[in-house]
Amino acid sequence: MTVKDYHKRFKTENPKPKTQKSKNMNATAIKKIIAQGEGISVEFKTATFELPRNVFETVCAFLNRQGGHLLLGITDNGDIDGVIPDSAQAIKDAFATTMNNRQVMKPTYYVSLNNVIIDDKTVLHAYIPESSQVHAYKNEVFDRNQDGDFKISDNADSIRQLHLKKQGNFSENIIYPYLQLTDLRADLIKRVRLLANNFRPNHPWTELSDEDLLRSANLWKQDYKTGEKGYTLAAALLLGRDNVIQSILPHYKTDALVRKVNLDRYDDREIIKTNLIESYDKLMAFVGKHLSDKFYTEADQRISLRDKIFREVIANTLIHREFMNEYPAKLIIENERVLVENWNRPHGSGKLILNDFIPFPKNPVIAAFFREIGRADELGSGMRNTSKYVTQYTKGKYPEFVEDDVFKITIPIQEPTVKTSSENEGTIEGVIEGVIEGVIEGVTKGVKQKLVTVVQAIQADEGKRLPDYEKATSLKEKSLERYIKQLRDADLIEFQGDAPKTGGYYLTEKIKEKITSNT
């Protein structure tokens, strides 16, 4: 049976192939890459039934040079031959096994192949980013040019130049010989294991010791020019104790501010000096505290636009900064925008255009670590995702990305203005306010506004529980519980369901009738 016959039969027997599409690139984007043809950053390989033997030479070369797209199931001249669907998972498993094998790929690097269906054929795609280290496959070092992969193991000068290139580009690789495992937080290492396993079940990190995990994540390095070896700056920043990080980088911090009323100073401020994992948590919490969320559905699932946007923005500012510079990273929330800044090692200057943007890794080891725990995606996807969700958050406005010594991201926002009772007259908000004033005595203006927010959240999405409304209203758990109790005591909302985990909150007929008759 020919490959063509197999694809025809498979299409007949499986009209909707149950394969997982690439998380980051769809069929249209892959077709554009194929149309460009092979080059220094694009490689095609046929892989009908099994993994090509020379695929890891290409992976190694991409890691060592400038990264690139690897496409399996494509002939050298760009024809879409496809991978036999029944063999796709075995090919992906074999690829992952080799990439994680320290005896074969040195150092290891976590990259996964993703299925993409193009013209009813299965293609496997991976974007291999430029690594901050020099990699070898079966003890051979490969580099890349327009003609493909070439071995440089016997050329000492080429290898030396490759090492110098990596050292000059990535400060995350600076080795601290006296930095010990005890200087890193064991509880944080345990936590990243759980995050990685939650993101990708049966993640290899779950079976590794702390030391092996750090080595497999390329947080331990040996400089073959000087003989120096040990844990790197990336290890300290990701997992180090706070006093260790401050000892290495006294200037390191992220400054989160709100400037809406007091424009000369700030309304709220948090200076964050901890590791990158917990810095992410603190910055997301700061944004959640000061920015509203909006109801939005995608593929019939309710998602948080605010979290989608700032997951990308915050990960970007933590990952892609130049840590050796004393310029502090900043996240500033203003009335009509959020401004994010961090010191950068630019590859150009000016505004970045989405369709023409070519991503460059700034700290590949840290970026790869964030990808493994589900807090970052493929290089360049953050800009695409941010643009996509900001237009929904702001009714058509776009974010702005500026590449320079200071990298700047500007996110336009449209925060709801607070209305007075007279301004609310005749609106749903006004009706709800009136009902609340009539049944809850002595309620202050500020509390009344919070109660209205809770009622509107429940009205927009009935049957949900506290955590869902906590996200929707941006209220803290204890505050939300207090407002929920007030509304239940006033018989404006009720809990329906047999158990806390299966039930949810609904508006009572008492308030529904008022809203219906007055709007």
Amino acid at 33: I
- Higher pLDDT, residue 465 or 132: 465
pLDDT at 26: 77
Residues 438, 467 within the same domain: yes
Which CATH number covers residue 475?
1.10.10.10
Map tokens 């796709």 to a residue.
88
d(CA 311, CA 209): 29
- Higher pLDDT, residue 286 or 347: 286
pLDDT of 168 above 70: no
Tell which of 352, 384, 412 closes a domain. Answer: 412
Q: What is the largest CA-CA distance in the chain?
A: 85
Residues 266, 319 within the same domain: yes
- Higher pLDDT, residue 28 or 501: 28
pLDDT at 513: 77
- Higher pLDDT, residue 5 or 87: 87
d(CA 411, CA 399): 5
Map tokens 């939005």 to a residue.
296
d(CA 43, CA 55): 9
The tokens for 159 are 């290898």
- Candidates 455, 453, 496; CA nearest to 475 is 453
- Beta strands at 148-151 and 350-351: parallel, antiparallel or unpaired: unpaired
Tell which of 169, 188, 204 closes a domain. Answer: 169
pLDDT at 18: 35
- Candidates 106, 104, 167, 157; CA nearest to 132 is 167
Map tokens 């599409």 to a residue.
21
pLDDT at 305: 87
φ/ψ (deg, to 5) at 191: -65, -40
Residues 407, 348 within the same domain: yes
- Higher pLDDT, residue 83 or 53: 83
Q: Give tens-digit pLDDT for 114-128.
A: 899 998 899 999 988
- Beta strands at 254-259 and 329-334: parallel, antiparallel or unpaired: parallel
One DSSP character per residue, 214-225 reads: HHHTT-EEE-TT
Rounded to an integer, the average pLDDT of 253-282 is 93
**Residues in Cβ contact with 59 at an 8 Å cutoff, skipping those fewer than 6 apart:** 70, 99, 105, 109, 111, 128, 137
pLDDT at 444: 79
- Higher pLDDT, residue 241 or 307: 241
pLDDT at 237: 97
Q: Give tens-digit pLDDT for 489-500.
A: 888 899 887 666
CA 324-325-331 angle, to 5 degrees, is: 115
pLDDT band at 255 (very low <50, low <70, confident <90, very high): very high
pLDDT of 107 above 50: yes
Which CATH number covers residue 13?
3.30.950.30
pLDDT at 406: 87
pLDDT band at 346 (very low <50, low <70, confident <90, very high): low
pLDDT at 278: 96
pLDDT at 379: 61
Q: Give tens-digit pLDDT for 360-411.
A: 667 889 999 999 999 887 665 677 888 888 888 887 788 999 888 788 999 9
Q: Residue 275 is part of which domain span?
A: 254-412
Residues 64, 130 within the same domain: yes
d(CA 101, CA 109): 9
One DSSP character per residue, 281-310 reads: HHHHHHHHHHS---EEEETTEEEEHHHHHH
Is the separation of the CB atoms in 324 and 171 below 8 Å? yes
Q: Give tens-digit pLDDT for 18-66.
A: 333 333 467 888 898 898 899 888 999 999 889 998 999 999 999 988 8
Which CATH number covers residue 259?
3.30.565.60
One DSSP character per residue, 69-125 reads: EEEETB-TT--B--B-HHHHHHHHHHHHHHHT-TTTEES------EEEEETTEEEEE
d(CA 155, CA 200): 39
pLDDT of 2 above 60: no
Residues 129, 231 within the same domain: no
Map tokens 């941006």 to a residue.
474
Residues 222, 112 within the same domain: no
Structural domains in the chain (count): 4
Is the separation of the CB atoms in 138 and 191 below 8 Å? no
d(CA 58, CA 51): 13
pLDDT at 216: 92
Pseudo-torsion of CA 141, 221, 99, 381, nearest 10°? -100
d(CA 479, CA 468): 14
Q: Give the range with max mean pLDDT: 181-195, 395-409, 429-443.
A: 181-195
pLDDT at 416: 45
Please tell me what DSSP assigns to residue 408: E
Residues 199, 268 within the same domain: no
Tell me the average pLDDT of the chain.
84
Pseudo-torsion of CA 141, 144, 148, 149, nearest 10°? 0
Residues 145, 60 within the same domain: yes
Report whether the peptide linkage leading into residue 328 is cis, meaning its omega lies within 30 degrees of zero.
no
pLDDT of 243 above 80: yes
Residues 140, 191 within the same domain: no
- Higher pLDDT, residue 9 or 170: 170
pLDDT at 422: 45
Residues 317, 447 within the same domain: no
- Higher pLDDT, residue 106 or 209: 209
* Side-chain-facing half-sphere of 287: CA atoms under 13 Å: 26
pLDDT of 7 above 60: no
pLDDT at 264: 84
pLDDT at 23: 39
pLDDT at 421: 45
d(CA 60, CA 222): 18
pLDDT at 263: 84
pLDDT of 17 above 50: no
The tokens for 453 are 């927010």
Residues 69, 103 within the same domain: yes
pLDDT at 417: 42
Tell which of 139, 154, 169 closes a domain. Answer: 169
pLDDT band at 479 (very low <50, low <70, confident <90, very high): confident
pLDDT of 10 above 50: no
Residues 369, 482 within the same domain: no
The 3-state secondary structure of 391-402 reads: HHHCCCCCCEEE
pLDDT of 205 above 50: yes
H helix intervals, 291-361: 305-319
Lowest mean pLDDT among 10-19, 52-61, 173-182: 10-19
- Beta strands at 268-272 and 295-298: parallel, antiparallel or unpaired: unpaired
